[in-house]
Structures are given as structure tokens and as C-alpha cells.
Copies of this chain bind each other. A is one copy, B any other.
Amino acid sequence: MNEHGELVVTHKVRIRFNETDALGIVWHGNYLKYFEDGREAFGRQFHISYLDAKQNGYATPIVKTTTDHKLTLTYGETATVETQYVNTASAKLVFRYLIKNEADAIVCTGETVQVFTNLKDNTMSLILPDFFKNWKIKQGLLDA
């Protein structure tokens, strides 16, 4: 939890040669991979990964993404992905991302929204699944 009471996880990614394009910079679509890397790091630290959802009978597919690109990244750089959980009352998982370069300048920001779908019938859950409600209570994000 950061100074604003927000759940944030910081994760380093080393830029791969194969993530660059003919302009010599990271191809824009790869930022969604860095977001996933950040989200995974968040999931590992706060026990709310794809695998946790799966064990409880849910998938958490992405339904919305946004990326805003301020600067570029090139091969050999190490970027920092800050992944912040955005608390919402709806049956959604919302994360905000801040990618910084080694000079601590903001390279890219973005957001993803995930929903909970039942693994059995592939329907979208309109209410918070119990396992996720319990997770929020445990994190102090929801009253028991």
C-alpha cells in the first residue's frame, strides 16, 4: 500500500530485442504485455492472479484497455511498471499502470478492466464473486 492508501506493486521489465520494431523502439502493442507483467506481479504479491480466480471457478478476461504513450523505450533499457489497483463497487477488476524509464520519466500510462466470467457456462458475473469479496475485505477495501 502506498502513501495514498492505494495498493501498488512495482515491477521491473527488461526490454527484449524482439519487442522492438523497425523504428528501433518498443512496438506499441507490447505495452499490453508489460501491463500484464505488472498485473501478474500485483497478483503474486496480493494473491489475486488468473490462477487464484481459476481455482475459484472464474476467468477474468480483459474487456477494456487504454494506453497513452509519452516517450519510447528501446532495447537494453529496464523499465519500471507500477500497477495500481483501482477500487470500484462494480464486479470488475480495474488496474492503472505507469511505466517509467531508468531516468524515472513516464513512458506510458494505461488502464485495463477485467470482468469475472464463470468457467462453467462462460457467463459474466454481475455481482462480486465471493472469493473476490473476501479478498477485498482482507485488503481493507471493503467492510466485512
Contacts and interface: CB of A to CB of B under 8 A. Distances in A.
Interface of A: 14, 16-18, 20-25, 27-30, 32-33, 36-37, 40, 49-51, 59, 61-70, 72, 74-76
B22 A40 contact: no
Given A14-B40, A22-B24, A25-B61, 5 more contacts: A28-B61, A29-B65, A62-B69, A63-B68, A66-B67
Tell me what chain A mostly uses at the interface: helix, strand, loop, or mixed.
mixed
B69 A67 contact: no
Contacts of A51: 75-76
Contact of A17 (B18, B22, B75): B22
Nearest to A28: B62
Copies of the protein in its oligomer? 4
Contacts of A22: 17, 20-22, 24-25, 74-75
Contacts of A17: 21-22, 27, 36, 40, 50
Contacts of A24: 22
A107 to B, nearest CB: 12
Contacts of A27: 17-18
B69 A64 contact: yes
A22 B27 CA distance: 10
